[in-house]
Structure 1
Amino acid sequence: MGPVRIILLRHGQSLGNVDELAYCRVPDHTMPLTPLGEREAKEAGDRVKALLQDVPAAVYVSPYTRTRSTLRLLGLGALAERVVAEPRLREQDWGNLQDPVQQEVLKHQRHAFGHFFFRLPNGESGADVDDRVAAFLDGLEARVRAGGHPETSLLVSHGLTIRLLCRRLFGWSVELFESLSNPTTCEDRVLEHDGERWRLDRPFDQWRDSPDGETQG
């Protein structure tokens, strides 16, 4: 595989980022951006356009409202050569509307058990998300190898999904993944493949050292 780039972008600030109880009354897939999130997305437009360097990209976007709104507000125009709503890039499924009491209990259990393997009742584990992003990456690689696919892809997705996509590409340990922080809203990362290996433009913030000593380098 020759030179390939993947630009990863987290959505702008959503209602769920500022009001966790919103998940008890608003379906996750319809969670809207806040006014700040809309401004973040508009401001990110110039940054993403600069990364694209006037070269059209294939765009894959989580079908959730907050990610699709973020993509629209980027204002990419003709730089978005093709746009695919990709369910495999969605947020981890917490299982329909959440009960406020159970929500708090589950967050404590998940933190103690580990974010990767803990399965949410009626929802997914981090490992499930890891599996679906792996399937997406396999399909993307096949399309690139077949030819006719832009060298650059833009993925508009979610914090945990972005971290797991990188974990899968680089083969990071589960312990390292669980030590990394999500990118902030509308923060980007750029992955480049030089024909031999993938490289990440800058590391994710870490809230602790990985217990197994593994690093992002």
Structure 2
Amino acid sequence: MKILLLRHAECLGNVDESAYCRIPDHALPLTPHGEECARAVGAEVRGLLEPGPVAAYVSPYLRTRQTLTLLGLGGLLERTLIEPRLREQDWGNLQDVAEQQALKKQRQAYGHFFFRLPLGESGADVDDRVAAFLSELWLARADSRHPRTVLIVSHGLTIRLLCRRLFSWSVELFESLTNLKPCEYRVLRRVSDERDGWQLDRPFEQWRDSPDGSTQM
């Protein structure tokens, strides 16, 4: 099995944080620039997909669904599944700008994995639902009818945690990595039949060395 992990294109919330105060997170649209980037990266994505059918799993948020549509994959997709467990970390309904900034500072000091947003989720909560999704994907792999190539269109933190689960990275290493940029992707390939037998095409950027000394490879 080959898995292509793609972060959604630039959305309104990426360029205007006040948008979270008036538009639900799940309804934030792509910007015009994001739409252009999604179309542009479509050619790269098509080149990375293996010959044969492809299964796409996409977060239900508007920006991820728009990104998938604009990739222009057309008939390459055998099945497309809207997967709520791949959604963004829940910050809790409409947000207040000042409160949002304060929470981001608290989360940075406390740690992104364990800090629980007052009306939303912790990174650990996202980790749990990503693990459930991966377990089902692992079972689907045993079905010969399931495509061998999988495209996942999701969000920065969610993609990082999906890789943390697949590679059994430590929490310290996870918190040392940065999210993929909008429209950035990573490719996962099977290198053995073992459950953890995955290989990442290139590492995530790191803003510091992991305090526990662990690495991505």
How does the TM-score come out when normalised to structure 2? 0.97
CA separation in 2, counterparts of 1:37 and 1:56? 27
**1:116 aligned to 2:113?**
yes
Structure 1 residue 101: Cα displacement: 1.6
Q: Which of 150, 170, 184 matches 2:147? A: 150
**Separation in structure 1 between the aligned mates of residue 51 and residue 166 of structure 2, nearest angstrom:** 26
Which of 153, 161, 166 lines up with 1:164 in the alignment? 161
Q: Which amino acid aligns with 2:139?
A: A
State the shift of 1:99 in Å: 1.1
Asked if 1:97 is matched to 2:94, the reply is yes
**Aligned equivalents of 1:59, 1:33: Cα separation in 2:** 19
CA shift for structure 1 position 105: 0.8
Q: Deviations over 1:145-165 (max 9, x none)?
A: 132100110000001000000
What are structure 1's unaligned runs of at least 5 residues?
none
Q: Take 1:55 and 1:20, find their aligned partners in 2: how far apart are those partners?
A: 40
Q: Distance in 1 between matches of 2:60 and 2:6?
A: 14
Amino acid aligned to 1:216 = Q
Provide the C-alpha distance between the structure 2 equivalents of 1:115 and 1:69, rounded to a whole number of angstroms. 27
**2:203 matches 1:206:** no
**Match for 1:188 among 174, 182, 185?**
185
Amino acid at match of 2:204: F
The equivalent residue for 2:71 is: 74
What CA distance in whole angstroms lies between the structure 2 residues aligned with 1:214 and 1:178? 12
Name the structure 1 match of 2:175.
Answer: 178
Q: Which runs of 4+ in 1 moved over 3 A?
A: none
**Equivalent of 2:61 in 64, 73, 81:** 64
Q: Distance in 1 between matches of 2:39 and 2:24?
A: 24
Q: 1:165 is matched by which residue type in structure 2?
A: L
Give the whole-Å Cα distance in 2 for the aligned partners of 1:176 and 1:117.
14
SS in 2 for 1:179: coil
Residue aligning to 2:46 = 49
Matched residues, percent identical?
67
How much has 1:44 moved relative to structure 2? 0.9
Q: Given that residues 50 and 149 in structure 2 are in contact (C-alpha distance below 8 angstroms), is that contact kept between their aligned partners in structure 1?
A: no
- Aligned equivalents of 1:53, 1:18: Cα separation in 2: 34
Alignment of 1:23-34 (within 5 A): 23-34=20-31
Following TM superposition, by how much is the alpha carbon of 1:135 offset from its aligned partner in structure 2, in angstroms?
0.3
TM-score relative to the length of structure 1: 0.97
- Helix, strand or coil: the match of 2:175? helix
Cα-to-partner distance string for 1:15-60 (whole Å, 9 max, x where unaligned): 1001111111110000000011001100111001000144321000
User: Matched residue of 1:110: which SS?
Assistant: helix
Aligned residue identity for 1:113: Y
Amino acid at match of 1:66: R
CA distance in structure 1 between the partners assigned to 2:37 and 2:86 by the alignment? 20
Structure 2 gaps, min length 5? none
